[in-house]
Amino acid sequence: MVSIAGVCLFGGLPAKATARLQTWEFDTGQNRFMFTTDSSVQPQVSLLPHPKRLVIDLPGIVTDEAVGNQFIGGAVTAVRVMQADARTTRMVLELDPSYSLDPHQVKVWGMTSHQWVVQLPSAIQTAAPKASPPPPSSPSRSSAADPASALPPLLSRNQVTHAPVSRSATVVQGVQVTQEGFFVPMQGAAPQIQVYRTRNEQQVRQLVIDLLDAAIPQGLSPQSLPQGRYGIHHWAVTQFSTNPPAVRLILNLDAASPDWQVSLVSGGIWLTPVGMPASQIATAPTTVVLPMFNSAQTQPAQAAPPPAAIAASPAPQQPAPTQPSRDRIVVMLDPGHGGADPGAVGIGGLREKDVVLAVSHHTANALRAQGIAVQMTRQSDQTLDLQPRVDMAESANATIFVSIHANAISMQRPEVNGLETYYFSDAGHRLASVLHRRVLGTVPMNDRGVKQARFFVLRRTSMPAALIEIGFVTGATDAPKLRDPQWQAQMGQAIAQGILDYIQSGR
């Protein structure tokens, strides 16, 4: 067993903390969208209806300037690029309503880990009337046919198979993408490992790694495994409840993938490509099944009045009982992300969307206990775009808007931890400062400051607005706190107290 040798592999990390979107373009002739970033990225793509649009999120990527609507032509009528939160760039391709896009025909591939192509089907078809019913059994459609279930993000062909295990000497935490390849972090004793090279029934080359007396955490999900990176288009992680228990990792290698070296080091296993740097491995085109959501799940109830109500009353909808008066304080809380959009995913698969929802509920409860009216842009694990969040704050005539997020940076930067609070307008600046000061005074954590940023929800809301990043899901110090329900309650109450401070100091 090599103990320290693995550590030096961390040496070649870029010094800059943020990666940027460099270029994007839609090629009308080829019907493809291409973009480059100045660092590795794993895009997450989903297809949303009403209006029909393709949403591409770039976790860990910032964009300096939000580019406005741009006319594109053809299937894509406009491309919008925005900063969705502190570390995520969102690109939205508005699709022509007459363009019927089969989610099974969208291909996404990386030319390198920072140059990506989203290929739409080349022929523009108009939506055909449903002349014949679909075939009774169409196995490839099974995942798209059930939008109610939580669908894996794009490219996720990974599998995780859990099985009951009483105890094990080693816990395999997951798989991380690094500059050099992959790292499989482990806790506990170093396991015995056996490595095989084989092919499956389709003659796809496979690397099989068996870890003896090892287990995976219950929360390990296919989405938390690398998605189509470095020529590995499929990861399978299987728990066996043998005695002792065992974990099997299977990597399916693309044609372009070289062989991989497996090195057991202190704290985990390195997987490094043989004969070429990981960044040079091209990724083969992958046909993807896009997560699709119907309007019932993506639209908040108040954003879509029932058709009957429209027909009955020619006047604009005014939900009279809850209409706020000017004097009444209404706090709009905005838990970031949700549903198909997990937000940042950090150590041990910790998901931003889960943490911020729990914290937001604590904040809402604490404020309501003080007699403050609170509304939330989402109350459950629901997919929600940025514009509807702004619309809800405006139609509720909210007094203030507070968006709650968790931060992330590369998995190789566990030393980055702390609280950041953002504003855009002057009015937001005071809210952000008061909030930030109260949270830091209540919940001990590293202070990364109050900063101005052009986030969509901060720019588009008319009331004082702040966006708080309550810690790093990738941070060694922050991640264990973020997943702790007691800490979540403490943070939620601290945010509520910060909001009260602001209200009481005469907004």
The whole-angstrom separation of Cα 460 and Cα 364 is: 23
Q: Encoding tokens for residue 44? A: 């997450």
Residue 35 pairs in a beta bridge with 24, 116
Could you tell me which residues come within 8 angstroms of residue 10 by beta carbon, excluding any fewer than 6 positions away?
Answer: 412
Cβ distance 392 to 304 under 8 Å? no
Task: Decide: helix, strand or coil at residue 373.
Answer: strand
The whole-angstrom separation of Cα 118 and Cα 285 is: 9
User: Which one is catalytic: 180, 352, 420, 469?
Assistant: 469
Q: Is 231 left (phi over 0), alpha (psi -120 to 50) or beta?
A: left
Q: Which residues bind Zn ion (CB under 5 A)?
A: 85, 336, 343, 405
Nearer to Zn ion, 153 or 343 (CB): 343
Chain centroid to Cα 326, Å, comes to: 36
Question: In 10 A of CB 395, how many CB atoms?
Answer: 16
Cβ distance 173 to 128 under 8 Å? no
For the four alpha carbons of 215, 217, 222 and 227, in that order, the dihedral sign comes to negative
The whole-angstrom separation of Cα 420 and Cα 321 is: 37
The whole-angstrom separation of Cα 491 and Cα 498 is: 10
Nearer to Zn ion, 48 or 406 (CB): 406
At its nearest, how many Å lie between Zn ion and the CB of residue 482?
12
The whole-angstrom separation of Cα 43 and Cα 35 is: 10
At its nearest, how many Å lie between Zn ion and the CB of residue 139?
35
Q: What angle do CA 409, 63, 179 make, to 5 degrees?
A: 40
Tell me the helices (H) and strands (E) count for the chain, helix number first.
8, 28
Residue 335 pairs in a beta bridge with 404
Peptide bond into 51 cis (omega under 30): yes
At its nearest, how many Å lie between Zn ion and the CB of residue 288?
23
Nearer to Zn ion, 79 or 356 (CB): 356
Nearer to Zn ion, 87 or 157 (CB): 87
The whole-angstrom separation of Cα 181 and Cα 364 is: 42
At its nearest, how many Å lie between Zn ion and the CB of residue 263?
34
Task: Decide: helix, strand or coil at residue 62.
Answer: strand
Peptide bond into 342 cis (omega under 30): no
At its nearest, how many Å lie between Zn ion and the CB of residue 406?
6
Task: Decide: helix, strand or coil at residue 454.
Answer: coil
Nearer to Zn ion, 85 or 334 (CB): 85
At its nearest, how many Å lie between Zn ion and the CB of residue 39?
18
Cβ distance 451 to 62 under 8 Å? no
Annotation says 469 is catalytic: yes
Q: What angle do CA 247, 181, 241 make, to 5 degrees?
A: 5
At its nearest, how many Å lie between Zn ion and the CB of residue 413?
17
The whole-angstrom separation of Cα 260 and Cα 258 is: 6
Nearer to Zn ion, 268 or 346 (CB): 346
Cβ distance 402 to 333 under 8 Å? yes
Which 8-state DSSP code applies to residue 459? H
At its nearest, how many Å lie between Zn ion and the CB of residue 403?
8
Which 8-state DSSP code applies to residue 292? B
Nearer to Zn ion, 26 or 472 (CB): 472
Which residue in the shown chain puts its C-beta closest to Zn ion?
85
At its nearest, how many Å lie between Zn ion and the CB of residue 4?
35
Nearer to Zn ion, 45 or 265 (CB): 45
Nearer to Zn ion, 119 or 461 (CB): 461
Active site residue ranges: 469
